[in-house]
Amino acid sequence: MFFTYILYSPSADKFYIGHTGDFLEERLRKHNANHNGFTGGKGDWRIAYFETFNTKTEAYAREWDIKKKKSRKYIEALVKTIPT
């Protein structure tokens, strides 16, 4: 199983979009670890949205579909579809 996911950092007020074949909790732990890169150093990322796919190709395509829109409003609308 593969995932396309959106993370949110309250301290940075930023979203991060990615895909993985890892368990989402493990991938989140890696993002929250102290490392170089966009998600490094903040430590407060949370999973705001995710979709599941059967193949890595599908998950990667969906990640780029979201990124190509270049729209925070679109991302926020996706996040609102997940019950809290």
User: In 3D, which of 66, 62, 52 has the Cα closest to residue 21?
Assistant: 52
pLDDT digits 0-9 by tens, 4-29: 999 999 999 999 999 999 999 999 99
Confidence of residue 40 (pLDDT cuts 50, 70, 90): confident
Residue 9's DSSP bridge partners are 14
User: In 3D, which of 6, 3, 4, 1 has the Cα closest to residue 74?
Assistant: 6
Looking at residues 46-74, what average pLDDT do you find? 96
Residue 52's DSSP bridge partners are 3
Looking at residues 63-84, what average pLDDT do you find? 91
Task: Write down all domains in the chain, each with its CATH number in brackets.
Answer: 2-80 (3.40.1440.10)
Q: Do residues 59 and 22 lie in contact, with contact meaning Cβ atoms separated by under 8 Å?
A: no
**Where in the chain does DSSP place strands (E)?**
2-9, 14-20, 46-53
Confidence of residue 61 (pLDDT cuts 50, 70, 90): very high
For the entire predicted model, the pTM comes to 0.91
